[in-house]
Chain A
Amino acid sequence: MIWIMEILILTILLICALAAIHVKDLLSSAILLGAYSFLMCILWAEMGAVDVAFTEAAVGAGISTAFFIGAIYQTTRRTKD
């Protein structure tokens, strides 16, 4: 039963990562990276590395999303390429 959950999380993780690269809106890209980080945190906790999962949730999903949003406010919201 646990491998079904693992494959499900990995599929959503891949979708989030590809969408964060291909989306045109930079704010959506930052939020998708936060979602990617949180799914990665669930994956670490499921593999038994609870300390790494804690760090991923605190730094990846919490602080770095706030840093990305703070950086987007200093530039344009839509990408050119």
Chain B
Amino acid sequence: MIRLYNDLIIQTVCRIMIPLIQLFAFYVIAHGHYSPGGGFQGGCILGASFILMLIAYDINWIKRRFSENKNVILIALGVFIYALVGLLCIFLGKEYLNYSAFQKLIPIDIARVRALGTLIIEIGVGITVMAVMVSIFLNLITFGKHEKGEV
């Protein structure tokens, strides 16, 4: 069903485009609390760059880097970052996800502390969304068999 299809034009264009797409995705994640964008949109763009790599290159080569175990670890890591920041706020004496509690650890302006907390949350959301999108696409194009290694 899925066969290797080498096309020089598609592979060259993808080699140029994929780093630019990933750079834009990191910009969207890191700048999400000042401008439109954020963790979900940036994670979607980052996942789209890996999906483009999956379409343009050999799927078996990509699968060695994106095995199901690594995807599940990345999904859980993003949720873990989110929950850890939220619970840290509780341990510091404020509500869940009230970032102004970090002022006890980092003594700077309260608006800057809130922006820092939002940035950490959005990095976690971006990691989870990226891994979920790549995992959905891999399971979709390989009949859900890709963790057994029989594409």
B48 touches A66 (CB 8 A): yes
Residue of A53, A63, A73, A74 touching B51 (CB-CB under 8 A) = A63
Lowest 10 A-B CB distances belong to which pairs? A58-B44, A50-B36, A70-B140, A70-B141, A58-B41, A51-B36, A54-B36, A62-B48, A54-B41, A66-B51
Size class of the B contact interface (CB-based, 8 Å): 20 to 34
- Chain A interface secondary structure, helix, strand, loop or mixed? helix
User: In angstroms, how far is the closest chain A Cβ from the Cβ of B89?
Assistant: 25
Question: Which residues of chain B in 12-71 are interfacial with respect to chain A, using CB atoms and an 8 Å cutoff?
Answer: 28, 36-38, 40-41, 44-45, 47-48, 51, 55
Interface-central residue, A51, A66, A67, by most chain B CB under 10 Å: A66
Residues of A within 8 A of B1 (CB): 73-74
Does A55 reach chain B (CB closer than 8 Å)?
A: yes
Pair B36/A58 contact, Cβ less than 8 Å: no
B48: chain A residues within 8 A (beta carbon): 58, 62-63, 66
Is the CB of B83 closer than 8 A to any CB of chain A?
no
The verdict on B136 contacting chain A, using a C-beta distance below 8 Å, is yes
* B133 interfacial by beta-carbon distance below 8 Å: yes
18 residue pairs bridging A and B, Cβ less than 8 Å apart: A51-B36, A51-B38, A53-B36, A54-B41, A58-B40, A58-B41, A58-B44, A58-B45, A58-B48, A59-B41, A62-B45, A63-B47, A63-B133, A66-B48, A66-B137, A67-B136, A74-B1, A74-B140
State which size class the interface on A falls in. Answer: 10 to 19
Cβ-defined contact, A54 with B141, below 8 A: no
- Contacting residue for B44 out of A51, A62, A70, A74, CB 8 A: A62
